[in-house]
Amino acid sequence: MSVRDRIRAVAETLREPRSVNWISEQADAAWSTTNEELQALVDQGQLRRVEVGETTRYQPDYTRLLFEEIRTLIEENTREELRNELAAITEEIEAWQATYDVETWEELEQSLADGDLSSDELHERRDVITRWEENLKDRRLIKHALALYSDVEAAREQMTDYSSSRRQ
């Protein structure tokens, strides 16, 4: 992986705004190279520059990432596949609700403080909480993808029609 690839990899996984120095250290790259690459990512719309006091920091454009995830779901799945995944997620959450007699992952998290749970039960519940949170995120994205599916298909058809008419 090249230096610039390492910088991009670090920048794409940021969870909070970070300075050039921090990103440079994480990517094991020179400050000047990191600064240049971050500026290029800002110019391309992949990163946002944020002023925090006297420091310039960088973070991903979370709106762009959201729409890219939704677009990928639409491009890589049929409507039926998305509906099936939504149903599978709902079934899994309902099973956890019944198994642990809770309504939300937060209630399950509170049960971790029960003194009568074995370490295996604690690990299992922690794993379920993580998967439950991921399922909720996935469900939200799938719902967005389904809501936009027709619009994206129509836009694709317009592009295809336009390309076809230009060739003739």
pLDDT means over runs of 10, the chain (168 residues): 93 91 96 96 92 91 89 94 97 97 96 88 96 97 94 78 58
Across the beta sheet with 55-60, the strand order is 18-19, 55-60, 47-52
3-60 is a CATH 1.10.10.10 domain:
yes
pLDDT of residue 163: 56
Torsions phi, psi of 117, nearest 5? Answer: -90, 140
Tokens standing for residue 122: 């604690």
pLDDT of residue 33: 96
pLDDT of residue 150: 87
Q: Quick one: which H or E segment has residue 53?
A: none
Q: Domain limits of the chain? A: 3-60, 64-167
Any residues with CB less than 8 A from the CB of 162 and at least 6 apart, and which?
Answer: none
Q: What is the DSSP-derived secondary structure letter of residue 102?
A: -
In angstroms, rounded to a whole number, what is the distance separating the alpha carbons of residues 132 and 140? 12
pLDDT of residue 156: 76
pLDDT of residue 165: 58
Is-contact 148 70, C-beta < 8 A? yes
User: What is the total residue count of the chain?
Assistant: 168
Any residues with CB less than 8 A from the CB of 50 and at least 6 apart, and which?
Answer: 17, 56, 57, 58, 59
